[in-house]
Amino acid sequence: MTRLIFLGAPGAGKGTQAETLAHHRNIPHISTGDILRQAMQKQTPLGVKAQDYVSRGELVPDQLVNDLVKERLDEPDTEQGWILDGFPRKVSQASFLDKLLQEKHNHQVVRVVNLEVPDDILMARLLARGRADDNEEVIRRRLEVYREQTAPLIDFYRDRQQLISVNGDQSLDEVTAELLDVIDS
Ligand code: ADP
């Protein structure tokens, strides 16, 4: 059973690697960023509420993402496993997820992959990507928010011995190979 959380700064390659691995394992790749962007595009109630935060590089309020993750993990396609990408992004979300998974899976441990990439490389990758929320000022804010709110999750999960670190500063294929290697060991 593959149940993984992907951590890593914006630009670390979480989305790409999570998608590849999910495909490989035939399990859903659940990206809160993708779900929010789709909702914004369709202007659903969730999208309308999230819009302002996302375009400024801020985190959307916990309740919005917590609800969406809870609902998504209740879909039948998650029974064979899943990969969460972009959630949790702060300690309060990690606590919420913990409780949710305890109820669902009765204490089975979920593993957490941290993709490590040096700061200067992150900025270069994000500027090259050119998504709507990828202008320099917003990127800077997203990196700041990451350092303040998300990076503490690395220690949080390391202390609980759930953390697996992977060098994200390699070619896409090399990262995938390292990932496959560590999650099966
Ligand atoms: P990145 O490439 O920065 O990792 P994502 O696609 O994961 O971007 O997320 C894009 C944006 O969506 C974030 O900057 C944030 O505004 C919002 N978002 C995604 N996941 C969460 C979350 N778990 N909590 C709050 N906001 C989120």
The pLDDT value recorded for residue 24 is 93
The pLDDT value recorded for residue 107 is 62
Q: Which residues contact 3 (CB under 8 A, 6 or more apart)?
A: 81, 82, 83, 105, 108, 110, 111
The pLDDT value recorded for residue 135 is 86
**Confidence check: pLDDT of 126 > 80:** yes
The pLDDT value recorded for residue 71 is 96
Cβ(93) – ligand 1 distance below 6 Å: yes
Q: Which atom of ligand 1 lies closest to the CA of 126? A: 2
Tokens at 138, concatenated: 């917003």
Rounded CA separation 157/160 (Å): 5
**SS (HEC) of 72-91:** HHCCHHHCCEEEEECCCCCH
The secondary structure of 106-166 as a DSSP string is TTPPPEEEEEE--HHHHHHHHHHH--TT-SHHHHHHHHHHIIIIITHHHHHHHHTT-EEEE
CA–centroid distance, residue 26 to ligand 1 (Å): 24
For 62, the enclosing helix (H) or strand (E) is helix 62-73
The secondary structure of 5-40 as a DSSP string is EEE--TTSSHHHHHHHHHHHHT--EEEHHHHHHHHH
The predicted model scores a pTM of: 0.93
**Confidence check: pLDDT of 63 > 90:** yes
Cβ neighbour number for residue 30 with a 10 Å cutoff = 24
> Which domains can be identified in the chain, with CATH numbers?
2-31+81-184 (3.40.50.300)
Q: Which residues contact 24 (CB under 8 A, 6 or more apart)?
A: 180
Cβ(176) – ligand 1 distance below 6 Å: no
Rounded CA separation 79/91 (Å): 25
**Confidence check: pLDDT of 155 > 90:** yes
Render pLDDT for 16-61 as a digit per residue (tens, 0 to 9): 999 999 999 999 999 999 999 999 999 999 999 999 999 999 999 9
| Residue whose CA lies nearest to ligand 1 atom number 18 | 33
